[in-house]
Structure 1
Amino acid sequence: MVGTTTTETVHSRTLRLTEPHVVLEQDIHRSVPEGYVVVEPTLASICHADLRYFGGTRKPEVLAKKLPMALLHEGIGRIVGGESRRLAYSQKVVIVPYMAGKLLQDPGPAHSCPACRGEIADNYCSHSKFLGSGTDGIAQSRLVIPEQCAIPIPASIPDDIAVLTELCSVSYRALRPVAGLLSQARIAVFGDGPVGYLTAAMLHHAFGVGSDRLTVFGAIREKLDQFTFARTEMVQQYDFQSGDKVDIVVECTGGNFSESAINQGIDLLAAGGHLIAMGVSEDKVPINTRDVLEKGLTLYGSSRSSIPDFEEVLRVMEQKDCQDTLKLLIPDSFTVVAKAEDFVGAMESALAHKGWKKTYLDFHW
């Protein structure tokens, strides 16, 4: 059974969010079960999900259930402990935040969930844990995770590109169900932020979709100008009723813009088309079900990825042209984090200045 034998114990300086805007450093003793490794996080990026916890925009009952908790789920680190035949000491790895139940325990066939039994996708396991969402995330000096959740970074991929693996893997995972259609399909991506950019980048670099079949819709021209590998359109000026129809729409807006993006996507889709929802909204979003029915559309959501998605994305990231595309999201400078106050400052700044580029945290433990 995985995790039944403890091989060592480590002390982790854990930067825990205890309530919105308040982070305390706690020294936590973490056991290292058999089959696990110890990772020292070195570089991480801030996600909008982290900001929703930090800024207190999640519902009070959610915050009460999940806090205190260390944030962050996008990051890389180096191996500093655990017994592994596959990973060497000090080896650089990408951290997979999604830990399926079968990696955490051995539930047995009678007690396993549909995902554990292979009946549904592996990223919907009811026994899973996700870093920075219900369990302590990457903002700690010693992260103890299943060995399979630490994936070696190829030497050809720079650290500042590798940090984007998790975000790219989420986009890649969302596209997998329609992979068989992508060689000919006409595709529209809604969203000119990082999620929209990386989704369009995966369509282009992982699935070979060119600008003749890929259109990105956004609201800010300066952001859309970064999408050099796709056609771009301003949502304020486009006639979605009369425009050219597409086969697949990927909604990457979230928040208050989800409603308009989803319904514009429904207008844009041809009969039998697919609508993929990736944007997260705290509120329920009304959609045009009449046209969903009349057109026979398929609607599904996707937000988390698993180990195979990371492995595929890292192979794509070895391409020089893919790295050149992703570089546009790398910030001009990284924020050094050595203590709780540094982390709070970085989060407050990211919350106040939601720019197009990512915010990178350079950990100095």
Structure 2
Amino acid sequence: MGTTTTETVHSRTLRLTEPHVVLEQDVHRSVPEGYVVVEPTLASICHADLRYFGGTRKPEVLAKKLPMALLHEGIGTIVGGESTRLSHRQKVVIVPYLAGYLLEEQGQAHSCPACRGEISDNYCTHSRFLGSGTDGIAQSRLVIPEPCAIPIPESIPDEIAVLTELCSVSYRALRPVNDLLGQAKIAVFGDGPVGYLTAAMLHHAFGVGPDRLTVFGAIREKLDQFTFARTEMVQQYDFSSGEPVDIVVECTGGKFSESAINQGITLLAAGGHLIAMGVSEDLVPINTRDVLEKGLTLYGSSRSSITDFEGVLQVMQQKACQDTLRPLIPDSYTVVAKAEDFVGAMESALAHREWKKTYLDFQW
């Protein structure tokens, strides 16, 4: 990417300055060559946003990252920049993971091991991530590298497209075991949105049916939404005598990570894989004895990259996939026109923690 500035845009940026406090700040952003300007139109709130807003991140983390505009799940329209691929007012999904080779002058070949293809491209040491250390989607003009704005196919409604980022994280976590998914028995731990979308991607993107897919959760009303998988209540299931599985995906996070990971280790067959996706602020003790005795493979995954978004958008064009995703869509959206609206939406999401996502309809 070059450094020549093609224009400057004015952005109304809703920055979290301290927990529960959001101020609108006027920011003038330069538009380097190879970048585009996106006007965010629809976004959803992630638990990561709530951890910043509610102040549950560690004080040293908050001190380092604030002030900062939140949000990394969203869509928008192209309103600036010079692009031969994207047209003015075209609808795009926003990729929040900005790989180092897109940001630095030396280009991909001379950046880092991830950019050179030596390790997975979502582990770039020079990357930036919207709403985590750099201003996110809560602003009227977002300036990002052109490849991070992906056109939304006409067959995908906006309310489905806004779920692309969250789906892409699950999609990315499953790619390393793609060659096993044709026959493997799989257990997903977590009855929240991450667990739901991970199970949805297993079903629609990788063809895993309910005969091989089991979801473990703690709330029956949530588990009843998983109509495309078998479901089990963790409180009632005997993991020590349950049918072994080949792959476990942990989607709980927080204080439930410990029990989910260790129940998954108990359930796994020898040589199995455990994929950790849930985020916890604290260290999580795990049963290493069984990990060693069974020869298990453990890895973590929390971010996705451009190719994952492209793969998910292909899957989302299926009507069956759209129907599966609709239960997560809220009955109404929260209009955000000023900082006070944004604070109200965040406080409500923090207080209620509903199963459905919270959508923000930006009116700049």
Q: TM-score, normalised by structure 1?
A: 0.99
Shift in Å, 1:41: 0.1
User: Do residues 54 (structure 1) and 29 (structure 2) align?
Assistant: no
Match of 1:220 in 2: 219
| Contiguous gaps of at least 5 residues in structure 1 | none
Q: Specify the code of the residue in structure 1 equivalent to 2:125.
A: S
SS at match of 1:356: coil
1:196-236 CA-partner distances (Å, limit 9, x unpaired): 00000000000000000000000000000000000000000
Secondary structure at the counterpart of residue 304 of structure 2: coil
Which secondary structure does the structure 2 equivalent of 1:342 belong to?
A: helix
In the TM superposition, 1:39-118 aligns within 5 A as 39-107=38-106, 112-118=111-117
C-alpha spacing 1:88/1:228, structure 2 compared with 1 (3 Å) = same
- Which residue identity does 2:208 align to in structure 1? V
Offset at 1:4?
Answer: 1.1
Q: Which string of whole-angstrom CA distances, capped at 9 and with x for unpartnered residues, describes residues 224-278 of structure 1?
A: 0000000000000000000000000000000000000000000000000000000
* 3-state SS of paired residue (2:11): strand
Residue matched to 1:260: 259
Q: Paired residue for 1:196?
A: 195
The answer as to whether partners of 2:35 and 2:145 remain within 8 angstroms in 1 is yes
- Residues 188 and 24 of structure 1: is their aligned pair in 2 closer, same or farther, counting only changes over 3 Å? same
Asked whether 1:237 is paired with 2:236, we answer yes
Deviation at residue 117 of structure 1 after TM alignment: 1.7
Runs of 4+ in structure 1 displaced over 6 angstroms? none
Structure 1 residue identity aligned to 2:295:
G
* Matched length: 364
Q: How does 1:111-190 map to 2 (within 5 A)?
A: 112-190=111-189
Percent identity at matched positions? Answer: 89
Q: Is the 8 A contact 2:4 2:33 kept in 1?
A: yes
* AA aligned opposite 1:151: I
1:114 Cα offset (Å): 0.9
Shift of 1:111: 5.5
Mapped contact 1:3–1:36 kept (Cα < 8 A): no
Aligned-residue offset at 1:112 = 2.1
The answer to whether the 8 Å contact 2:102/2:108 transfers is no
Query: Do the aligned residues in 1 keep the contact of 2:95 with 2:150 (CA within 8 Å)?
Result: yes
Name the SS of the counterpart of 1:57 in structure 2.
coil
Q: CA deviation at 1:116?
A: 1.6
Deviation readout 1:275-310 (Å, 9 max, x if unpaired): 000000000000000000000000000000000000
> Partners in 2 of 1:332 and 1:343 — Cα distance?
18
Show the 5 A alignment for 1:308-323.
308-323=307-322
Alpha-carbon spacing, 1:20–1:185, altered in 2? closer, same or farther (3 Å): same
Deviation at 1:167, TM superposition (A): 0.2
Contact 1:335–1:362 (8 Å) recurs in 2: yes
SS at match of 1:130: strand
Instruction: Give the direction of change, closer, same or farther, for the CA distance of 1:109–1:197 in structure 2 (3 Å limit).
Output: closer
- What is the alpha-carbon distance in structure 1 between the residues aligned to residue 66 and residue 223 of structure 2? 37
**1:3 counterpart SS class:** coil
CA RMSD of aligned residues (A): 0.8
Q: Are the equivalent residues in 1 in contact too, given 2:69–2:135 (CA < 8 A)?
A: yes
Q: Tell me which amino acid in the other structure corresponds to 2:8.
A: T
Say if 1:109 and 1:181 are closer, same or farther in 2 by CA, change over 3 A.
closer
Match of 1:4 in 2: 3
- Alpha-carbon offset, residue 109 of structure 1: 7.8
The separation in 1 between residues aligned to 2:189 and 2:126, in whole angstroms, is 32
Q: 1:253 touches 1:279 (CA, 8 Å); kept in 2? A: yes
- Secondary structure of 1:204's partner? helix
Query: Helix, strand or coil for the counterpart of 1:30?
Result: strand
Matches within 5 A, 1:341-352: 341-352=340-351
Does the 8 Å contact 1:123/1:304 carry over to 2?
yes
Deviation at 1:105, TM superposition (A): 1.2
Query: Which AA in structure 2 matches 1:217?
Result: F
Q: Is residue 12–residue 30 contact of structure 1 (8 Å, CA) maintained in 2?
A: yes
State the alpha-carbon separation in 2 of the partners of residues 108 and 213 from structure 1: 43
Preserved contact between residue 110 and residue 116 of structure 2 (Cα < 8 Å) = no
User: Is the 1:39–1:80 contact (alpha carbons within 8 Å) kept by the matching residues of 2?
Assistant: yes
CA distance in 2, matches of 1:119, 1:39: 31
**Alignment deviations for residues 1-29 of structure 1 (CA, whole Å, 9 cap, x no partner):** x1310000000000000000000000000
**Residue 38 (structure 1) aligns with:** 37
Cα distance, 1:326 vs structure 2: 0.2
Secondary structure class of the residue paired with 2:134: coil
Partner of 1:298: 297
Secondary structure at the aligned position of 1:300 is classed as strand
Aligned residues of 2:109 and 2:116 also touching (Cα < 8 A): no
Once the two structures are TM-superposed, the CA of residue 107 in structure 1 deviates from its matched residue by: 3.2
Given residue 220 of structure 1, which amino acid in structure 2 is its aligned partner?
I
Structure-2-length-normalised TM-score? 0.99
Q: Residue in 1 aligned with 2:288?
A: 289
- CA distance in 1 between counterparts of 2:152 and 2:181 reads 28
